Structure 1
Amino acid sequence: MKKIAIFVDVQNIYYTSKEAYGRQFDYKRLWQQLGYEGEIVIANAYAIARNDNGQIKFQDALRHIGFEVKLKPFIQRADGSAKGDWDVGITIDIMECASSVDTIVLLSGDGDFSLLLDKVRQKYHVETQVFGVPSLTAKALIDATTIFHEINHSLLR
């Protein structure tokens, strides 16, 4: 059975799904869909901890589905901008597991991950899959993955 590792850039998926469709991504449906392809051996969701009740319930729901939720503190800068980027953490986790899985699934539209996907495909010969909102996913990321899955109404709630 194929071993699958899932990595979710939660903020990216939340905001792109909301902007494009005005709806939320359905993580339970994703889990079911990927479960038909093989065994999910790693499932990490990377989020920012703002500690509001809605976010805590959402994170608990992700855990209930089977995700490990990794949190970083929300940092508000003096100029009003915010920081909460998980790119390096996601990259490290993908690199650490790439030799022990058959498929790496990334949920993000961030083109910065294109180099990472190229590297793991070349070095570890793994299949890569990206789920992203088509109009808000970097072309470089779409080009770097083995399979691009459009987030559309079938994966929304």
Structure 2
Amino acid sequence: MHKIAIFADVQNIYYTTRDTFNRPFNYRAFMHELSLHNDIVSAYAYAIDRGDPQQMKFQSALKHIGFEVKLKPFIQRSDGSAKGDWDVGITIDVLEQAPHVDEVILLSGDGDFAILLDTITRKYGCKTSVYGVLNLSANALIQSATQFIDINKKWLL
């Protein structure tokens, strides 16, 4: 079977599907469809921990459907802005998993990952698939992926 590793930038997917469709992404349907034709070697979901009961329930659901959930604490700065970025953590995990899989699947529209996808394709020869909301995904990311799958109503709750 085709070996895959999945990396979900939860905050990015949450905001892009909310802003575009006013609906959340359906992680259960996503995992189910991918598991039909692939061997999911690893699946990571990266999120910010605010200690909110609703978020904790969502994180528990992600674990139940097969994701390893990685959390960073929510940091509120004194100026009112917030910090909670998983780009480096996702990058490290992708670089560790890419040599062991046929395909890396990234759920994000963040253009910062374009160079990562270029690197793993060149270095390991693995396919890269990005799932994102087309109008909110960086062109550099779309162009660096082997394939880009536009999140549409099929992937929503």
TM-score, with length taken from structure 2: 0.99
Alpha-carbon offset, residue 37 of structure 1: 2.9
Matches within 5 A, 1:23-42: 23-42=23-42
> Match for residue 89 of structure 2?
89
Alpha-carbon offset, residue 32 of structure 1: 1.3
> Match for residue 55 of structure 1?
55
> Match for residue 145 of structure 2?
145
> Match for residue 78 of structure 1?
78
Q: Do structure 1's residue 127 and structure 2's residue 127 form an aligned pair?
A: yes
> Match for residue 99 of structure 1?
99
Identity, % of aligned pairs? 59
Alpha-carbon offset, residue 35 of structure 1: 1.1
Q: Distance in 1 between matches of 2:140 and 2:127?
A: 17
Q: Distance in 2 between matches of 1:6 and 1:48?
A: 18
Alpha-carbon offset, residue 67 of structure 1: 0.2
Alpha-carbon offset, residue 38 of structure 1: 0.8
Q: Distance in 2 between matches of 1:16 and 1:124?
A: 30
> Match for residue 2 of structure 1?
2
Alpha-carbon offset, residue 77 of structure 1: 0.3
Alpha-carbon offset, residue 15 of structure 1: 0.3
> Match for residue 19 of structure 2?
19
Letter in 1 for 2:36: Y
> 4+ residue stretches of structure 1 with deviation over 6 A?
none
Letter in 2 for 1:132: G
Tell me the number of residue pairs that the alignment of Structure 1 and Structure 2 aligns.
157
Structure 1 unaligned regions, length at least 5: none
Alpha-carbon offset, residue 75 of structure 1: 0.2
Q: Distance in 2 between matches of 1:37 and 1:111?
A: 28
- SS of residue matched to 1:93: helix
Alpha-carbon offset, residue 129 of structure 1: 0.3
Structure 2 unaligned regions, length at least 5: none
TM-score, with length taken from structure 1: 0.99
> Match for residue 118 of structure 1?
118
